[in-house]
Structure formats: structure tokens, C-alpha cells
Amino acid sequence: MSTNRKKQATVNSKMHIKHKLFAGYDLWLLDTALLLMCIGLIMVASASISIAAKEYADPLHFFWRQGVALMIGLSFAFVIVKVPLQFWQNISVLLLILAFVMLFLVLVPGIGKEVNGSMRWIQIGPFSLQTSEPVKFCVIAYLAGYIVRHKQTVQTDFAGFVRPIVMLTIISGLLLMQPDFGATVVLFTTALGMLFMGGIPLLRFFAWVSVAFTILLTLAIMSPYRMQRLMSFIDPWKDPFDTGFQLTQALIAFGRGEWLGVGLGSSIQKLFYLPEAHTDFVFSVIAEETGLFGSVFIICLFSFLVWRAFVIGHVAESVEKYFAAYFAYGIGLIIGIQAYINMGVNMGILPTKGLTLPLLSYGGNSLITYCMLIAILLRIEYENRQDTRNIVQKVVVAYA
């Protein structure tokens, strides 16, 4: 271990590494992720003070819980950056099985815990496991492995495409049974994106995308109530006290923010006007308290994360580390898709559904899962660098 580190230190001596602990890792990625987590912790505290004081008689109730989750997430990440990527490739099928087990178990009454009409949680001692979050990790890992194992069939054969799609459909079905519509959309889209990157023939891909889209649309239309709720985002002011309530309150938060915001802690919308202010709608509170400056900054940070993940994936691909490459693409996709959808929902350009903002929103499972995904990215980049330190620089420069 220590020899390893020494070696890295010499390897990276040309690069200006300030922090020894993170020597050899992508500091841009690390710093961006840490910055998002810190902003998240502060904003969760700010957005939840009133509701925590009311519901739990402790204004920092959510802050402490988020802090503990962050510590757990960071310790997982510390372990994961040390684990060779090959390990995940070896157990990728196991991870899928684990995902299925969790998704089945959560639907079993007695094991799964029903909250607000959804069976999304498994209680393990003092912890609540939100199954859809680790499932994201498992499915991405599995898919990356699958594409590597069946590269040829994926790219040419129909069966190579159908198999993961069937697997995804089952997982989506299980998620919809919870129901967790948001996670379904994010996971399905991510998977499609990974297959797309994996080289599925375009015609087949778009055919399937339109089929999937049609199915989703049919599901929505078949339930007019859901449809109505789903489409209320188009004109939330039509019924601002019922279906449009949450969104109008979020939009008001944006309007209050102006250029630089009303100031940290000074949000009015979080004072019970905006439901889920510290979870799904934390972005609105950020926009209110820190203004356009803050909201654009967050958008840019997420965009940077996505770009960085794709660069890392690209480098991995260029050194023929395909598992790493697809894993990296998957991570970039899921972070980007979930973050963009969440922010789009906050600003009323997408229908409202329960999705958190990765690394920022309150929610331990989501935070820990994204910590792990970021750690995987760091590990991929680390391994890339070990193999190709000269090329990395070239590639990075090329994309920078």
C-alpha cells in the first residue's frame, strides 16, 4: 500500500498535486463532487429548518441526518476508490441478482415499509434502505459488464439488444409496482443511453425508444387522473391551490431569487409554502436564496460532472478498458439525467415526479449511492491514469 502510494507520487510528480491524500485522483471531479455535497448539506439545513423545528422540535434534525449519511457515503467512497474496478466487473451479474432481490423484497409486505402509499423502503436496524438507489448502482454495473461480455451481439444481434431490454423492463416493472415512477424513468433512460454508447444499431435503438415512449404514454393516458396531475406542469396557474400548488410555489421561489437571491437562510417559500423544500425542491430554495447566480452555478456543476464522466469514459475506451468506459458513461448519464430532470421539474418544464437532486437533496440513500458512483468514477480515472498518464493528458487537453 505504502509502496503503491510512493510509486504514484513519483508517477504524478510532474502534475502539481497539492493534497497527498488524494494524490493520483481527479481533483476536478473530486472537488466538484465535494462542493456539491457541501452546498447540499448547507441547503438541506437551510431549507429544512422550519419544518424540522415543527415536526421534530429540532431545527437541525435533517442537517444531522444528512451529515451522518454524508459521512457514511464518504467512507464507502474511500473504500471504493481503493478497490480495483475489475472487482465490480467480476460481480456485475451478482449485483443484478442483488438488485432483483431487493426489488422483490421491498414489495413483500412486512419487509417493505409503506410510506405515503409507496413501498420503497426496507428497514434494516436503524437504517431505511431505499431500494431504488442501490439498484441504480447495480444496474449500471451490470449493464457495463453485459455490454463488455456481449459486445459483438449487442452491436449486431437482435438478441443482444433484447436481453438487457427485457431485464430492464422487469426492473422497471418492479419499480413501478412500488411505485417509483421517477426512478423508473431515470434508470430506463440511463440504460438506453448506455446501450446507445455500447453500439446498438441506431434504427433498432430508436425503434425501441419510440416503443418505450409509447408504452409510457399509454400508461399515463390510461389513468386520466395521473395524466392530469402529470400535465398540470404546463399551466400550474390554472389550479394553483391544488394540482399546481407545489410548482407555483417553486416558481415563486425562482421569481423571488432574482440575480443574487434573498440571502442564505432567508427563503420564504421554505416556510411551509413549498412542499418538499429540502428534498425534491431544494433547487428552488437554492434559486430563491442565492438567485440566478446560484442556480446557474449548480446547473454548471452538474454539467461539468457529466462532461467529466464522459471524458473519463472516453479515455477508458481509448485504452480499451470497456467495462470502465461504459460504467463511466452510465454514471455520467444517470447523474446528468436525474439532475436535469429534477431541475427541469423545479422550473416547471417537466412534469412533477419524485426525484431528488443528486448529491444535493436530503436523502441518505441517494447521497450514499451517488458518493459510491463518484468514487467509481474516481477509481476509473485513477486506473486510466496509471496506465496512460501521458495519453490522459493528451486526451484531457484535447477535450478541455
Task: Identify which of residues 126 and 225 has a Cβ nearer to other proteins in the complex.
Answer: 225
List residues near other proteins by CB under 8 A. Answer: 50, 54-55, 193, 196-197, 199, 237, 240, 248-249, 251-259, 268-269, 271-273, 287, 291-292, 295-296, 299-300, 303, 306-307, 310, 313-314, 317-320, 325, 329, 333, 336, 340, 343-344, 347-349, 387-388, 390-391
The residue with cell 447495480 is 138
Q: What angle do CA 56, 60, 63 make, to 5 degrees?
A: 115
DSSP 135: H
Residues 123/302, Cβ–Cβ less than 8 Å: no
Q: Which residues pair with 128 in a beta bridge?
A: 123
Task: Identify which of residues 30 and 306 has a Cβ nearer to other proteins in the complex.
Answer: 306
Task: Identify which of residues 167 and 253 has a Cβ nearer to other proteins in the complex.
Answer: 253
Task: Identify which of residues 4 and 218 has a Cβ nearer to other proteins in the complex.
Answer: 4
Residues 50/272, Cβ–Cβ less than 8 Å: yes
**Angle, in degrees to the nearest 10, between helices 282-318 and 322-346:** 160
Residues 216/169, Cβ–Cβ less than 8 Å: no
Q: How far is the CB of 133 from other proteins (least distance, A)?
A: 22
Task: Identify which of residues 131 and 243 has a Cβ nearer to other proteins in the complex.
Answer: 243
Torsion region of 250: left, alpha or beta (phi above 0 gives left; psi -120 to 50 gives alpha): alpha
Selection from 318, 316, 340 nearest residue 326 by Cα: 316
Q: How far is the CB of 391 from other proteins (least distance, A)?
A: 6
Q: How far is the CB of 20 from other proteins (least distance, A)?
A: 25
Q: How far is the CB of 348 from other proteins (least distance, A)?
A: 8
Torsion region of 306: left, alpha or beta (phi above 0 gives left; psi -120 to 50 gives alpha): alpha
Selection from 26, 13, 14, 22 nearest residue 385 by Cα: 26
Task: Identify which of residues 173 and 255 has a Cβ nearer to other proteins in the complex.
Answer: 255
Spatial distance between the Cα atoms of 375 and 327, rounded to a whole number of angstroms? 12
**How many residues does this entry show for the chain?**
400
Q: How far is the CB of 134 from other proteins (least distance, A)?
A: 25
Spatial distance between the Cα atoms of 275 and 172, rounded to a whole number of angstroms? 27
Q: How far is the CB of 19 from other proteins (least distance, A)?
A: 27
Spatial distance between the Cα atoms of 48 and 61, rounded to a whole number of angstroms? 8
Spatial distance between the Cα atoms of 382 and 77, rounded to a whole number of angstroms? 14
Q: How far is the CB of 48 from other proteins (least distance, A)?
A: 14
CA gyration radius, the chain: 21
Task: Identify which of residues 39 and 368 has a Cβ nearer to other proteins in the complex.
Answer: 39
Task: Identify which of residues 236 and 364 has a Cβ nearer to other proteins in the complex.
Answer: 236
Q: How far is the CB of 113 from other proteins (least distance, A)?
A: 18
